[in-house]
Amino acid sequence: MTAPELVLTPSEMKQADRDAIASGIPGIKLMRRAGRAVAECAEKLASPGAAIVVAAGPGQNGGDGFIAASLLAERGYRVTLGLLGPAERLMGDAAEAAQGWKGGIVPIEDLRFDDADLIVDALFGTGLARDLGGEARLAVERMNASAKPILAVDLPSGIDGDTGAVRGAAVRADRTVTFAARKPCHLLMPGRAHCGAVEVADIGIPRPILEARGGTLFANAPALWRHRLPRPGLTSHKYERGHTLVASGGATRTGAARLAARAALRIGSGLVTVASPPEAIGVNAAHLTAIMLRGCDGPEGLHTILQDQRFNALVLGPALGVHAGTRAMVTVAVHARRSLVLDADALTSFEGLASELHGAFSHAPTVLTPHGGEFTRLFKGRPDLLDPESKIERARRAAAYTGAVVLLKGADTVITAPDGRAAINENGTPYLATAGSGDTLCGLIAGLMAQGVPAFEAACAGVWIHAEAGERFGPGLIAEDLAELVPGVLRDLLR
């Protein structure tokens, strides 16, 4: 089994770095390996003898740049190196690395990026401490304006390692070489869009050290949850594969529930039932075959249906309407202690009422699937949940607050669990931004939970499978296609 990919924050990386040094690997050795990885990548991007311009900063990121510059010069490249600030201010390993550089050092403002075949951006890495200004900002702007290929060392300078935000200005790299593990900025937007292709170089920090310092943040990929995917055995009965219930909206708002229901069935829920308001029974009946149908008149109706313990997973929200009735249905579902996915109207109906959700979901597996706007409305008046700059931190706090797994949607969907685990998804496709796509996602997650997949893994797998299906279809994708693509994705995952 492949181990899940760890993502380390800049401060976790710094601690791991210190642990590695304490374990007997000298810091300069780590820097040499980092610089060598950069040089090797540069060699793939620039033809022999090409002109390489290295922009080095005042910290260790600059140190990596000095090492790479020295190696590339030894290998016959025409290397020019510019430094931000005086060379005398370089300290520690970076100062040692600079001593190994036999070429000249030009002030950063005199570097001519237009003459380069390749630019190596070693201005700032994980130590960026404030917005770029002055010469640093000018250098970044000139690099970008040159339109020359840029290789970023560790991360594109100006990108915040924790949040992926642009701090004043940021390099737009074609390639990024990072060390030991990816950082959040390589996966979170807009940082991800600034990185180009990201390569992770092993600089010899042992995985147990990385696990001890990180270990709670992951890239969302099958390695994180594939082992939890249900594999029905020869004797499996449909009732053992769970029964998902999806609440439908009124007569003119029934499609969302059917999309969710179909997705739940495709992902393997043994049975799926749409719970329909009486006035919408006819419309729903006309469109359902393998999916069953039950009349359900509001919260009381839901309460009655849930007396049947076989309904073990529930989707509430899509097209239910924003009103007290929807809130009451959520309350019924919470009291029934079934696996629960809450989306759209079920979330918006609690606008400004976040306190009602405090600890509300700690008794049964629950997944909340807001997009940014829904998240903001839901937690209105809770600056502790809304203000953190990091999307991961906002989602983590919301999970801790509500007791639910929180899936905060976007091009960089983040999934967090109340116990602090978090995953960042990166296989999304813009074609997923289509009507009904979110309803399908709810169905996938509920369908997995109906089969006993824990909430965090179900949410992570649901997001990934949903995105993979969208990616396989590409242009012209509509929500109806998504569920039909799930079997192909599942087949490959279960191989």
User: Which of 260, 334, 326, 338 is closest to 299 using CA atoms?
Assistant: 326
Binding piece for ligand NAX, criterion CB under 6 A, among 58-66, 346-354, 388-396, 426-434: 58-66
Of 30, 139, 163, nearest in space to 81 by CA:
139
Binder of residue 126, out of K ion, ligand NAX, none (CB less than 5 to 8 A by kind)? ligand NAX
Q: Is 126 in the site for ligand NAX (CB under 6 A)?
A: yes
Stretch that binds ligand NAX, among 11-19, 284-292, 358-366, 412-420 (CB under 6 A): 11-19
Pairwise CA distance, residues 245 & 313, whole Å? 6
- Please list the residues that pair with 271 across neighbouring strands: 243
Please compute Rg for the chain using Cα positions: 26
Q: Diameter of the chain by CA atoms?
A: 82
| 343 is a site residue for ligand NAX (CB under 6 A) | no
- Nearest to K ion by Cβ — which residue? 157
Half-sphere exposure of 375 (CA within 13 A, CB side): 25
Q: Do residues 6 and 183 lie in contact, with contact meaning Cβ atoms separated by under 8 Å?
A: no
Query: Minimum CB separation from ligand NAX for residue 15, in Å?
Result: 9
Interface with K ion by CB under 5 A: which residues? Answer: 121, 152-153, 157
CB of 55 to K ion, least distance (A): 8
Structure tokens at 22: 């304490």
Q: Distance (Å, rounded) from C-alpha 39 to C-alpha 201?
A: 11
Q: How far, in Å, CA of 311 to CA of 306, rounded?
A: 7
Residue 31: contacted member of K ion, ligand NAX, none (CB under 5 to 8 Å, by partner type):
ligand NAX
With beta carbons less than 8 A apart as the criterion, state whether 151 and 118 touch: yes
What CA–CA distance (Å, rounded) separates 106 from 333?
67
30 binds, among K ion, ligand NAX, none (CB under 5 to 8 A by kind): ligand NAX
Whether residue 286 contacts residue 311, with contact meaning beta carbons closer than 8 Å, is answered with: no
The distance of closest approach from Cβ of residue 126 to ligand NAX in the complex, given in angstroms and rounded to an integer, is: 4
- Tell me whether residue 127 is annotated as binding: yes
- Please, which residue, 136 or 314, has the CB nearer to ligand NAX? 136
The three-class DSSP label of residue 431 is helix
C-alpha 142/C-alpha 123 separation (Å) is 13
Binder among 60, 269, 369, 413 for ligand NAX (CB under 6 A) = 60
207 has binding-site annotation: no
Nearer to K ion, 175 or 294 (CB): 175
Comparing CB distances to K ion, the nearer of 56 and 342 is 56
Smallest gap from residue 155 Cβ to K ion (A): 6
**Cis upstream peptide for 208 (omega within 30°):** no
Q: Which is nearer to ligand NAX, 179 or 350 (CB)?
A: 179
d(CA 371, CA 393) in angstroms, rounded, equals: 15
Q: For residues 424 and 427, what is the distance between their CA atoms, to the nearest angstrom?
A: 10
Q: Residue 224: name its binding partner from K ion, ligand NAX, none (Cβ under 5 to 8 Å by kind).
A: none
Smaller CB distance to ligand NAX: residue 92 or 325?
A: 92
Question: Which listed option, ligand NAX, K ion, none, makes contact with residue 60 (CB within 5 to 8 Å by class)?
Answer: ligand NAX
- 82 makes contact, choosing from K ion, ligand NAX, none, with CB < 5 to 8 Å by partner type, with none
Question: What is the C-alpha to C-alpha distance for residues 456 and 231, in angstroms, rounded to an integer?
Answer: 18
Contact between 129 and ligand NAX (CB under 6 A)?
Answer: yes
> Which of the choices ligand NAX, K ion, none does residue 132 contact, using the CB cut-off of 5 to 8 A by kind?
ligand NAX
120 binds ligand NAX (CB under 6 A): no
Residue 126, marked binder: yes
Q: Is 78 annotated as belonging to a binding site?
A: no
Beta strands in 249-403 (DSSP E): 271-276, 292-295, 313-316, 339-342, 366-368
Query: Is 172 in a helix, a strand, or coil?
Result: coil
The nearer residue to ligand NAX, 167 or 396, going by C-beta atoms, is 167
Instruction: Check binding of 34 to ligand NAX (CB under 6 A).
Output: yes
Q: Where does residue 33 rank: exposed (0-12), middle (13-18), buried (19+ CB within 10 A)?
A: buried
With respect to ligand NAX, which residue has the nearer C-beta, 179 or 218? 179
Closer of 122 and 399 to ligand NAX (Cβ): 122
447 annotated to bind ligand: no
Give yes or no for residue 408 binding ligand NAX (CB under 6 A).
Answer: no
CB of 42 to ligand NAX, least distance (A): 15
Distance of CA 445 to the CA centre of its chain: 17
Q: Name which of residues 151 to 170 contact ligand NAX (CB under 6 A).
A: 153-154
Give Cα 322 to chain centroid, integer Å: 29
Helix ranges restricted to H, 312-406 = 324-336, 344-348, 372-378, 383-386, 391-402
Residue from 44, 130, 227, 495 binding ligand NAX (CB under 6 A): 130
Binding positions for AMP: 409-413, 438
Residues annotated in the binding site for K(+), as ranges? 61, 121, 157
Binding site for ligand NAX (CB under 6 A): 13-14, 17, 30-31, 34, 57-64, 124-130, 132, 136, 153-154, 179-180, 203
Return binding residues for (6S)-NADPHX. Answer: 60-64, 125-131, 154, 256, 371, 439
